[in-house]
Structure 1
Amino acid sequence: MLLGMERIQITKDIVDELNRLQEQSGVGPGALLRGQKDTPPGLNSGTIFGWKRHTVKTAKRNQLEWVMKRWREVTPVVPMTPKLIKEIEDHLKRTGIAPRALIARIDPPLDKLRSELVTRWVKGTTKTARQDHLDAVLNELRAAPDALPREKRAYIGRDKFQRRLDFDDTLRIALETERERTGIQASEMLKYFYRGKVPDGLNAGMISSWINASPRTVPADLYEWTLAAWRALPDREE
């Protein structure tokens, strides 16, 4: 019998290993086979599902070994736990680094690691992360120094008696996070998405000064409207 045609029993240990490899990688049978050029003849996702469900009791050795090898080569995927999310949020606040600047610091760059992904982790809209992506982000954040104290500038503009917010890094990062997530600049948001609905006194230059100049206080109504407006926009297209 040819080696590739040899059949072996699908044991419980093999089923458990196949399930473990799929869970660890986050890649299902169909995705595992997609685009592969050296797939053994006759192997398809239905065959792999049959092994995993133990409705198929034997497998061609070359097919089973190929599947296990490919699954082990996939970068593991891990869940984004509340503990991990809080650590990333705390480091972003401590360092004052925006997600886009963070990704630019990672060298060498990693495939498919973008600032919008970090934003989705923090917001909880993406529940898992590639292990290499997460490791790179955490390593960079843990090594980054604390942000230097920013010079606070008095805000000159609207009625000084209106309700105001003490402006800190938490408020600034909230704006930067939404800008990164949507890929939409303040000027685009006001001009194209909210034309005719922008509160009096609010303009793109003012929003830019909040993010870049770090004033002592900001008008509460205008800040809250801006953050809510950005949050209402969809994620940028990948």
Structure 2
Amino acid sequence: MLISMERVSITKDIVEELKRLQMESGVGPGALLRGQKDVPKGLNSGTIFGWKRQTVKTARRDQLEWVLKRWREVTPVVSVTPELIKEIEAQLRRTGITPRALIARIDPPLDKLRPELVTRWVKGTTKTARQDHLDAVLDALRVAPDARPREKRAYIGRDKFQRRLEFDDALRIALEVERERTGIQASEMLKYFYRGKVPKGLNAGMISAWINNDPQTVPAELYEWTVAAWRALPDADKDR
């Protein structure tokens, strides 16, 4: 196969576009080439860095056109701003759906869009997002109906936990978010991660009842320990 040896100048406009495409995509030269089967012969990440740094003044036309085409096809990466986090949190409270249920609403599914990723946006541990991921999540939340009001179950009786919290959607979602983020159920957390350290009176059935039965109040000490314990566990999946 003949290889085109025609060369073109690396102009200032080309350099600026190369830098812009890398910044917007979040994909560097090495990642751009990785796994591609049609990379022009002789093209490597060092070649692309040379163009960007202007240490070379010309490029093979076929190589430059291939790089520009591939970078333009990459989905842009954008910042997850505090304003976007507030909107996602507010929509989750309004709809009452969990990140897992939210992702299940998105059809067709998007590659690498997982419940854990949404949780990391909300927590601020992941500060960027693919534009298509963010758009799909916001679109799904904005059209989701309001959560149906659930009848509060009154707490009957007395116990040693005198300080109690009014249980609302924010408290419930805080539990669900940590469960989704870690991928660890309450029973697993208590049995395998905190054996011998669980406060007296707390069990997995109680935590499940908080999430599913919507009580009026919960014991502050037990609830706060549960949230803190879940938050101390690592993410289930670090992949972007």
- TM bucket (normalised to shorter chain) is over 0.9
1:88 and 1:208 mapped to 2: Cα distance? 24
TM-score by length of 2: 0.96
Counterpart secondary structure, 1:129: strand
Q: CA deviation at 1:154?
A: 1.9
Question: Which residue number in structure 2 is paired with residue 46 of structure 1?
Answer: 46
Shift of 1:155: 3.1
Structure 2: 5+ residue stretches without partners: none
Structure 1 residue 161: Cα displacement:
6.2
Alignment partner, residue 71 of structure 2: 71
State the alpha-carbon separation in 1 of the partners of residues 222 and 185 from structure 2: 16
> Which residue of 2 is the match for residue 84 of structure 1?
84
Tell me, in whole angstroms, the C-alpha distance in 2 between the residues paired with 1:86 and 1:49: 38
Distance of 1:198 and 1:158 partners within structure 2 = 21
Aligned mates of 2:126, 2:28 — CA distance in 1: 18
Q: Which residue identity is paired with 2:50?
A: G
Pairwise CA RMSD: 1.3
Distance 1:184 1:161, change over 3 A: closer
1:29 alignment counterpart: 29
1:59 partner SS: strand
Residue by residue over 1:30-83, the C-alpha shift from the partner in whole angstroms, topping out at 9 and shown as x without a partner, is 000000000000000000001011111110000000000000111111110111
Contact 1:158/1:201 (<8 A) preserved = no
Aligned residue number for residue 198 of structure 1: 198
Aligned position for 1:62: 62
In structure 1, how many angstroms separate the alpha carbons of the residues matched to 2:161 and 2:145? Answer: 37
**Structure 2 residue matching 1:4: 3-state secondary structure:** coil
**Deviation of 1:156 (Å):** 4.6
Q: Judge which range, 111-120 or 160-169, deviates more.
A: 160-169
SS in 2 for 1:137: helix
Query: Secondary structure of the residue that 2:129 maps to in structure 1?
Result: strand
Map 1:149-188 → 2, pairs under 5 A = 149-156=149-156, 159=159, 162-188=162-188
Give the aligned partner of residue 100 of structure 2: 100
Match of 2:231 in 1: 231
- CA deviation digits over 1:119-171, x for unaligned, max 9? 00000111111111111100000001111111100235661761000000000
Q: Within 2, Cα distance between the matches of 1:114 and 1:32?
A: 23
Aligned length: 237
Matched, 1:16 2:16: yes
Q: Distance in 1 between matches of 2:184 and 2:216?
A: 25
CA distance in 2, matches of 1:143, 1:58: 51
- 165-174 or 145-154: bigger deviation: 145-154
Distance 1:194 1:160, change over 3 A: closer
Q: Which amino acid aligns with 2:145?
A: P
1:174/1:227 contact within 8 Å kept = yes
Distance 2:40 2:161 in 1: 74
TM-score (norm 1): 0.97
Q: Do the aligned partners of 2:161 and 2:220 also contact (CA within 8 Å) in 1? A: no
Cα pair 2:120 2:181 within 8 Å, conserved: yes
In structure 1, the gaps of 5 or more residues are none
